[in-house]
Amino acid sequence: MVERTMVGGFPVTVVNTRPDIGTPDVLDRLGAALDLLTRHVPHHARRMHRDFSGFLIERRAYRGAYLPQTRTCLVELTFIVNRAFSPAQVAATILHEAMHARLYARGIAINDGPRQERFCRQAEIDFGRMVEGGDAIVARALAALQLDDRGIAPTIDPTIAAARIASEDRAAGHS
């Protein structure tokens, strides 16, 4: 099911292929994450309105991505609603993708993955140190910064990733 709406001044498209996930919950969690960004890093939140054309929420093999062709921030469907992750952790993912968008808008090559990932992780650390409950954000980002170039910016084959997600959803009875 595809739903289009507005959250926090952004157009949002939710492609909800999971009957166990309520789209209103997706939208509430996105709103909570955007509110945290507006409160704690307002300068980044303002830039997001220039750099993102909107949000796409759908099933993927990773938490988030910046899609430069459409200037869209992708957030993974099951990640955004998973209560094991706080709204601050969702916000950190959005901020991470906003940093990619900022670099892209400034003409910095998106194919310099390791360097960009380190820049984005530093933004996560800065945010995690400001927001209540940010310890998990800081720990994850610091751990990522210890990885080598292949580890911090792995190549993901979209065909293999899509097959893995479809297999997981079938095994869980969600397809």
Domain ranges in the chain are 2-165
Give φ, ψ of 64 to 5 degrees.
-160, 165
**Both ends of the chain: CA-CA distance in Å?**
12
Q: Are the C-beta atoms of 104 and 50 separated by less than 8 Å?
A: no
Tokens of 172: 């869980």
Task: Provide the 8-state DSSP code for 89.
Answer: H
User: What is residue 22's predicted lDDT score, i.e. its pLDDT?
Assistant: 97
Phi-psi region of 21 (alpha: psi -120 to 50; beta: other; left: phi over 0): beta
User: What is residue 149's predicted lDDT score, i.e. its pLDDT?
Assistant: 81
User: What is residue 148's predicted lDDT score, i.e. its pLDDT?
Assistant: 83
Q: What is the pTM of this model?
A: 0.91
User: What is residue 175's predicted lDDT score, i.e. its pLDDT?
Assistant: 62
Sites in the chain below the pLDDT cut of 70: 109-111, 175
User: What is residue 29's predicted lDDT score, i.e. its pLDDT?
Assistant: 99
User: What is residue 171's predicted lDDT score, i.e. its pLDDT?
Assistant: 78
Place of tokens 């292929």: 17
Helices (H), the chain: 23-40, 42-51, 77-81, 87-105, 113-130, 135-145, 149-152, 158-171
User: What is residue 143's predicted lDDT score, i.e. its pLDDT?
Assistant: 95
User: What is residue 122's predicted lDDT score, i.e. its pLDDT?
Assistant: 97
Q: Are the C-beta atoms of 34 and 8 separated by less than 8 Å?
A: yes
The beta strands (E) that lie in 16-165 are given as 54-58, 64-67, 72-76
User: What is residue 111's predicted lDDT score, i.e. its pLDDT?
Assistant: 64
